[in-house]
Structures are given as structure tokens and as C-alpha cells.
Amino acid sequence: MKNWDSLDEHGVCTADKDCEDAYRVCQILDIPFHQVSYVKEYWNDVFTDFLNEYEKGRTPNPDIICNKHIKFSCFFHYALDNLGADAVATGHYARTSLEDEEVFQQKHIKRPEGLFRNRFEIRNVVKLLQAADSFKDQTFFLSQVSQDALRRTIFPLGGLTKDFVKKIAAENRLHHVLQKKESMGICFVGKRNFEHFILQYLQPQPGKFISIEDNKVLGTHKGWFLYTLGQRAKISGLREPWFVVEKDGTKGDVFVAPRTDHPALYRDLLRTNRVHWIAEEPPSALVRDKMMECHFRFFHQMALVPCVLTLNQDGTVWLTAVRAVRALTPGQFAVFYKGDECLGSGKILRVGPSAYTLQKGQGKAGGAPEGSGSIPGDGPSLRPSL
């Protein structure tokens, strides 16, 4: 599957290298090789969203969006409809509540149309479960995938550890893929400087770096959208590290604090867009009580944090974490868990003020910088009514 047309710094297309590696695997295993291009779909559904989010000052997660729109939609339907596949297998470290045999039988189960479809869906629900190797678990990236796709997908690595998978690969003469480095970061940026990359697509919007502690101007930058809450801000002429704690989209200013664990970085309240629930839409406990205890994370491999969800009428949720979390980031996905089940996720649209800014009086009505995804308010009254 090729999703991006680009050359790296040495004029080599990494997608071509991946294609070559996949072709060699197919040769060794003696299975047919098919290639599909979703460059146009990726641009429209993933990359355009990525740029739109940055322009709004949010920090998107293109991996989650790619799985939703490309891998488990375009690619999934191509495999089933064009190739006539019984199921799709992916290398994600994840599991579902279906045995492989049950997945293969789905092809032959007649699904009702119209009125009774919803009852059928509820009765034959598939749960997304964390992998046996909890460190490698990738349910985070699958938290927006549909029931239809999960019902026809198998995850052969779900019960295995990475080391064991490498052992199997070595025994099957797949040494050329064993030597590959793990792909990290955003595929279409690669090793390029992120600021240079994004400024090829978005207009620079010069602004100031301002200390959250005394409002002193510390330097200038090329665009408030280039910065993510919690990241180190490279400020010309300053040797000690400063970290982004707030962004003001109307003025284009970025507020910074002098420590990576500065209290202005910690928040315990957020609001999502309409949540995508994987198995139950929404969970019955949440519908019944309008509240539900569970755990969440907003980046891969982050330790799960206990929280309380409050359901809004429009399908969005308020999330209150039991403890303040560093750098809650608008644009990222809050992914919900109960036990080893991944319940689904919602994009973080707004975050509450930190206790630090409330104490300083910047959390007063209208005080939180606009466009940062911060929720202006006067402290407790902005809490969802529990």
C-alpha cells in the first residue's frame, strides 16, 4: 500500500523500499503480491486534516486518521471486494474478542439490511482488546476503526511478544525485514526538519515567546501553530530550556515556562468531539448514569490514567482525570480503556486551565488564551455538572 509520493534527502523513495521488502516476503512465503496506491485518498482524508488541525493550533495524530480512512477503509474494502479475501491480517499488536475461525466465518453470515441491522450489530459485537505484550500494544492507533472492519480483521501478533515475532521471522528467512529500523514519527515528514516541512504548506505567522510567570517577552517565532503543548521551545539566545504551556491564536503568542515539570503544564479537564465507540455506542453504563469511570491515554505507550467521563447530548464527552496530567494536547485523541478493552476515542478539542493559571487569575472569564484549545472560565463552574 503506497500512501505518499516523496523522496528522502538522498533521492530515494522510502515507499519503494517498503514495497520491495514486501515483495521479497511474498516471494519467500510463495504468496501473491498486490500493490495499491492511495496517494490521492491519503492527501484528501489524512494530510488535509493534518494541515487543517495545525492551522487551528491543534496537534493532530495522522496515524489514527490513516487507520480509520485508509488502512481499515480503502485498503480493507479493496482486499474484500476486489481480491475476494476472507479477512485482512495486519501486523498491529492488538487482539479482538473473535477467534480467527469466527473471523473467517463472517464472510458467510448474511447481515440484515435496514431496520434490523442495528439489532444484529449489537448482538454480534466485536471488542478491541490490548495485546499480550502491553508495551508494544497498538490499540491506541486502532481506536477509531469501525465494527465492520474489526469483524473481518485478524491480528496474528496480538498474543506474541516482539522478540518472539523476530524469532519466527528469522526462522522463515525474512532477515531483510529483521534489519529494518522501527518506523517512528510521521511517515510523510521522515527525517526532515518539521518546521521547514510544515512551512512549505502553511503561511508563517510571526509571534512572540512570552514567559507565563511574568509576561516578559523572551523571543520570537515563525508561527504559534508550529508548537505543541509540553514541547521544548528553542528560543534564540537562551541556553536554559523553556517549555510551551499555552498558545494564543488571536495574537499569535506562545507562552512558555522554565521547567519541564512546571505546574502551568498540568491540567485535569478536557472535552472531546463526538466519541467513536468501538463496541457499544455509547457504553450502557455511560448512557444510564451519564457518567462512567475508566482509564485514558492521549499518546502511545503513555501510562493509563484513571478518569471520569461525562456524556453530553451531542455525543461529546467531558473527561476529568483523577490527577492533573502533563501537556494535555488539543488535536490528540483521548483513548478510553476498561480492563484490557479499548472502548474507543474522541479528539481533544479543548482543555481546562491549569491550577497555576487559575491561581494567577488568568483563568478568569475570557482570560485563557484563545485558540489554544483552552477553556476560559472561572474555575469550578466550568466543570461538567456531575
CB burial of residue 42 (10 Å; 0-12, 13-18, 19+) = buried
CA distances to 223, 295, 296, 325 from 385, rounded to whole Å, are 36, 20, 21, 21
Q: Regarding beta strands 207-211 and 253-257, do their DSSP bridges make them parallel or antiparallel, or are they unpaired?
A: parallel
Nearest to 354 by CA among 264, 271, 269: 264
Q: How far apart are CA 116 and CA 113, in angstroms?
A: 6
Cis peptide before 282 (omega within 30 of 0): yes
Could you say which of 13, 19, 66, 294 is catalytic? 66
CB atoms within 10 A of CB 284: 9
377: amino acid identity, one letter = G
CB atoms within 10 A of CB 114: 6
Q: Is 294 considered catalytic here?
A: no
152: amino acid identity, one letter = R
Could you say which of 74, 187, 294, 342 is catalytic? 187
Q: Is 66 considered catalytic here?
A: yes
CB neighbours of 322 closer than 8 A, spacing ≥ 6?
Answer: 268, 305, 306, 307, 308
Active site residue ranges: 66, 187
